[in-house]
Amino acid sequence: MSISTPGVHVGDDRRARALARRCNELAATLIQANPGRLGGFACLPLPDVDGALEELRYALDELKLDGVVVFSNARASISVTSGSRRCSRTGAPPGGRFHPPDDVADPTAHKLGLPDSLIDFVADTTRAIAQMHDGNRFARTPNVKYIIAHAGGTIPYLAGRFASSMR
């Protein structure tokens, strides 16, 4: 189980923290009532980084959820969710972080008149992965299993370019 877009933050940090807590506790209750049948990724009140770090600790350490959902951007701020050093977690659980796309950060992406899900979600996922790779996120968090939406965006097709450009 996991929360999808727009997540739990709609402009008020306090309300987002309360809603994330309620959602995560409900998920934990459902998982405990159905052991072996359900799993859950915690939702975080991003872009409230301090609230997200507290909820991350609670959801993983206390509720024992399987991982967390971290959108590829939070209210058009990729650096808060994917690139911020404050979002690193050492000794992470065997679960993982799931990276689905959020609303597209670049308003100019809508000029073609196509739905976000056709091109822009995949491109936004690619940008988030590129930023995480460039910032050494994967090397710094070897115990975290990342589950990336959309089969990694365009990363599988760009792997050769990434390998040559990031040496």
Give the span between the Cα atoms of 53 and 112, in whole angstroms.
Answer: 37
Average pLDDT over residues 22-41: 92
10 or 19, which is more confident: 19
For tokens 């998920």, the residue is 27
- Taking CA atoms, 65 is separated from 1, 4, 14, 87, in Å, by 10, 16, 22, 17
Report the pLDDT value the prediction gives residue 117, as an integer from 0 to 100: 67
Task: Say what the pTM is.
Answer: 0.57
Supply the Cα-derived Rg of the chain in whole angstroms. 16
Per-residue pLDDT, 146: 77
Query: Which amino acid belongs to residue 47?
Result: P
Q: Which domains does the chain show, CATH number per domain?
A: 13-165 (3.20.20.140)
Span 112-157, pLDDT tens digits:
777 766 777 777 778 888 888 888 888 898 888 777 777 777 888 8
- Of 145 and 56, more confident: 56
- In three-state secondary structure terms, 26 is helix
* Residues in a beta bridge with 103: none
What is the residue-averaged pLDDT of the chain?
76
Write b or e for each residue in 128-163: b if 16 or more Cβ atoms lie within 10 A of its Cβ, otherwise e.
bbbbbeebebeeebeebebebbbebbbbeeeeeeee
pLDDT at 77: 45
Q: Looking at the predicted structure, is the pLDDT value of residue 70 above 90?
A: no
> Which tops the pLDDT comparison, 56 or 148?
56
